């Protein structure tokens, strides 16, 4: 019997992510909160394949565990930068300006 797929666990504790998240208001806040809620219900294979999330590798971002960082779409205009560590999706930053997720720091 196949093991049930493991759901994604979210880590929202990055100071950079939290600073941007706590500045969101109104519809943007509602959209990002809803997207995070949906992410928690997914398994990892679904995250990787989900066309709406636009899971894209970012070669220029370094992560603490050496994993590849990715950008993912949380709303029409907002992206997050994150990486996988075990069952956790560790959100590093939040970008209200969609294109800023791809800029080198």
Q: How confident is the model at residue 42 (pLDDT cuts 50, 70, 90)?
A: very high
> For the chain, what are the domain ranges?
9-102
Is the pLDDT assigned to residue 98 strictly greater than 70?
no
Q: Say what the pTM is.
A: 0.83
CATH of domain 9-102: 3.30.2310.20
Residues 65/55/91/74 CA torsion (nearest 10 deg):
180
In the chain, the percentage of residues whose pLDDT exceeds 90 is: 66
| Phi, psi for 13 (deg, rounded to 5) | -90, 5
Q: How confident is the model at residue 6 (pLDDT cuts 50, 70, 90)?
A: confident
Q: In 3D, which of 37, 35, 13, 33 has the Cα closest to residue 25? A: 33
């Amino acid at each position: 019997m196949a093991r049930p797929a493991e759901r994604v666990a979210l880590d929202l504790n990055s100071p950079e992510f939290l600073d941007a998240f706590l500045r969101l208001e109104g519809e943007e806040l509602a959209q990002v909160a809803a997207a995070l809620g949906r992410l928690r219900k997914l398994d990892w294979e679904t995250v990787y394949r989900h066309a709406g999330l636009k899971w894209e590798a970012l070669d220029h971002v370094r992560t603490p565990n050496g994993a590849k960082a990715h950008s993912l779409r949380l709303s029409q205009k907002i992206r997050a930068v994150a990486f996988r560590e075990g069952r956790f999706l560790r959100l590093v930053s939040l970008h209200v300006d969609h294109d800023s997720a791809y800029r080198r720091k």
